[in-house]
Amino acid sequence: MMMEERNPDEIEALLPWHAAGTLSREDAARVEAALARDHELARRYALVREELAETIRLNEALGAPSPRPLQRLMTRIEGEAAETARGRGALAIGRWLEALPLRLSPRTLAWSAVAAAVVIVVQAGFLAALFVGPQGHSYRTAAVEQAAAPPGAYALVGFVPQASAADVTKFLETHKASIVDGPRAGGFYRIRIGEGGLSRDKLADIVGRMQQESAVVRFAAPAE
């Protein structure tokens, strides 16, 4: 467009920045001198100052965001930090294992392989004996006992593929829930609802409300 190609008068073009106080000292002095000798420019400068005042009022009237962006941000940062830590741990072990053969002599390596094979065979036999047992009973390890879930109400949920991390976070916050396990087969997660136990009716009520959030959840059911 022809109009856009014409450059405005250089000093007049600087008036908005002069009003905002963001000109260099040198340019500000040039503008001040021009304003002092040119009344029409001074009148136009008054218009600029009006625009500036109303632009500030307009923006200030926009208010402030809710706490949601900060919560969302920190949740994502925590997630990334945990991921990075896991990655670093795995990488360190990987590097150590990668470098291990280089540190050992061929003879040591050979003996290590034989020793490892013996250990595996013995361990397999031991585990089989434990699992079958003398009377055919199955065996539960102490670790399983310790990992028993803390008391509380649990549900199994599956999220729709389109649900974003923010959607899931909001869903969990809304229902005061946290993911304790998953994803399991089929992409299901086991979630814990609230801090303490809930009556069966109360849990069914909450799960019912979860099922209504079809934009986020494709499946929800009470779980043990």
Partner 1 sequence: MQATSDEALIGRIAAGDKLAMHLLFARHHVRVYRFVLRLVRDESLAEDLISDVFLDVWRQASRFERRSSVGTWLLAIGRHKALSALRKRPGQTLDEEQTAAIEDPGDDPEIAVQKKDKSEILRKCLNGLSAEHREIIDLVYYHERSVEEVAGIVGIPANTVKTRMFYARKRLSELLKAAGLDRGWP
- The residue ranges that bind partner 1 (CB under 8 A) are 3-4, 7-8, 12-14, 16-17, 19-23, 43-44, 47-48, 50-59, 62, 64-66, 68-70, 72-74, 76-77, 80-81, 166
Nearer to partner 1, 52 or 160 (CB): 52
Q: Return the closest-CA partner of residue 44 out of 18, 70, 76.
A: 18
* Between 15 and 203, CB nearer to partner 1: 15
Work out how close the CB of 33 gets to partner 1 at its nearest, in angstroms, rounded to a whole number. 19
| Closest separation in Å from C-beta 38 to partner 1 | 13
CA atoms within 13 A on the CB side of 148: 6
Neighbours of 36 (CB within 10 A): 10
Dist CA 192 CA 179 (whole Å): 6
Tell me how far, at minimum, the Cβ of 11 lies from partner 1, in Å. Answer: 11
The set of residues, in sequence order, having a beta carbon less than 8 Å from that of 213 and lying 6+ positions away, is: 171
In whole angstroms, how close is the CB of 46 to partner 1 at the nearest point?
10
For 91-123, letters b (16+ CB in 10 Å) and e give: eeeeeeeeeeeeeeeeeeeeeeeeeeeeeeeee
SS3 for 215? coil
Rounded Cα distance between 201 and 25, Å, is 72
Q: Minimal CA–CA distance to 158: which of 205, 224, 207?
A: 207
Nearer to partner 1, 170 or 192 (CB): 170
Query: Smallest distance from the beta carbon of 113 to partner 1, in angstroms?
Result: 41
Please tell me what DSSP assigns to residue 135.
T
* Nearest-approach distance from CB 164 to partner 1, in angstroms: 9
Q: Which is nearer to partner 1, 59 or 162 (CB)?
A: 59
| CB of 176 vs partner 1, minimal distance in Å | 22
Beta bridge partners of 156: 190, 221
9 vs 32, which CB is nearer to partner 1? 9
| Cβ distance to partner 1 smaller for residue 23 or 207 | 23
Of the pair 76, 95, the CB lying nearest partner 1 is at 76
Helical H runs in 38-179? 39-60, 68-103, 106-132, 142-146, 165-174
